[in-house]
């Protein structure tokens, strides 16, 4: 049997996980820890040292081009950026594919802000999961672009980049966030497709 205090603790943890409290705490922990880790790594790796020299060892660097030049590790607006091969992503740190551009970097930074706004559990369920699985009609070959998905369009908005989404998709992104970060079943809202017809040039993507 659970005691009253156990139930209380569990309730608090659940509230944390599904509110901006956990997202913000989690992300700040990564903001705080990434830099000392990077400095330690620079002692052992010449490549990391050269990467950090590009940004003059400034974790708050805002120059995207310098981040794109880094071979292993860089910083962008407080966040650690790990260069790798494969799909880019963001959770505490930014994983950025070697061939990505500045727009993708801003987009991934947007995911970190999204995480802070949503909370860890909400982010994992309503953003990380559908994004990793490319759920819904949103993918590179489908009728809608990958970045038209509400969870991706919101990352674009928060990161300061726009992959040419129409007003309808932006509205979808706002609604998705408002519902999703409060009510878990609203996660299934992604199934709703925009009503407006797309311009012919967008259909080819
Ligand atoms: Zn994304």
- Distance of CA 108 from the midpoint of ligand 1 (Å): 6
List, for residues 100-128, the tens digit of each pLDDT value.
999 999 999 999 999 999 999 999 998 99
- Distance of CA 186 from the midpoint of ligand 1 (Å): 19
**Total domains, the chain:** 1
Q: Are 88 and 104 in contact (CB under 8 A)?
A: yes
Q: How far apart are the first and last CA of the chain?
A: 56
Model confidence at 196: pLDDT above 70: no
For residue 76, what are the contacts with CB-CB under 8 A and spacing of at least 6? 61, 62, 64, 67, 94, 105, 109
Arithmetic mean of pLDDT over the chain: 86
- Distance of CA 32 from the midpoint of ligand 1 (Å): 23
List, for residues 38-81, the tens digit of each pLDDT value.
999 999 999 999 999 999 999 999 999 999 999 999 999 999 99
Structure tokens at 59: 């974790």
- Distance of CA 1 from the midpoint of ligand 1 (Å): 42
Using alpha carbons, select from 174, 168, 173 the residue that is nearest to residue 194: 168
pTM for this entry: 0.85
d(CA 162, CA 205): 16
- Distance of CA 12 from the midpoint of ligand 1 (Å): 29
Average the pLDDT over 168-188 and give the result. Answer: 77
- Distance of CA 155 from the midpoint of ligand 1 (Å): 6
d(CA 76, CA 66): 9
- Distance of CA 7 from the midpoint of ligand 1 (Å): 36
Classify the C-alpha dihedral 77-78-83-84 as positive or negative.
negative
Q: Name which residue leads in pLDDT, 188 or 75.
A: 75
Tell me the percentage of the chain whose pLDDT exceeds 70: 85
- Distance of CA 111 from the midpoint of ligand 1 (Å): 7
> Which residue range(s) make up the domain with 194?
4-203
Q: 107-145 as b/e, with b when 16 or more CB fall inside 10 Å?
A: bbbbbbbbbbbbbbbbbebbbbebbeeeebebeeeeebb
- Distance of CA 184 from the midpoint of ligand 1 (Å): 20
């Amino acid at each position: 049997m659970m005691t009253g205090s156990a139930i209380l603790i569990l309730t608090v943890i659940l509230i944390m996980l599904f509110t901006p409290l956990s997202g913000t705490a989690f992300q700040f922990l990564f903001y705080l820890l990434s830099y000392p880790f990077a400095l330690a790594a620079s002692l052992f790796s010449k490549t990391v040292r050269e990467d950090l020299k590009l940004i003059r060892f400034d974790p708050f660097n805002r120059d995207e081009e310098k981040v794109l030049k880094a071979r292993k590790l860089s910083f962008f607006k407080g966040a650690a950026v790990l260069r790798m091969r494969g799909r880019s992503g963001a959770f505490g740190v930014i994983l950025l594919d070697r061939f990505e551009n500045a727009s993708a970097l801003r987009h991934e930074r947007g995911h970190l802000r999204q995480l802070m706004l949503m909370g860890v559990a909400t982010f994992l369920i309503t953003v990380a999961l559908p994004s990793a699985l490319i759920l819904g009609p949103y993918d590179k070959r489908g009728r809608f672009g990958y970045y038209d998905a509400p969870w991706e369009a919101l990352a674009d908005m928060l990161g300061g980049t726009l992959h040419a989404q129409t007003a309808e998709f932006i509205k979808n992104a706002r609604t998705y966030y408002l519902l999703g970060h409060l009510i878990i079943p609203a996660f299934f809202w992604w199934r709703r497709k925009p009503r407006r017809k797309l311009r012919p040039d967008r259909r080819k993507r």
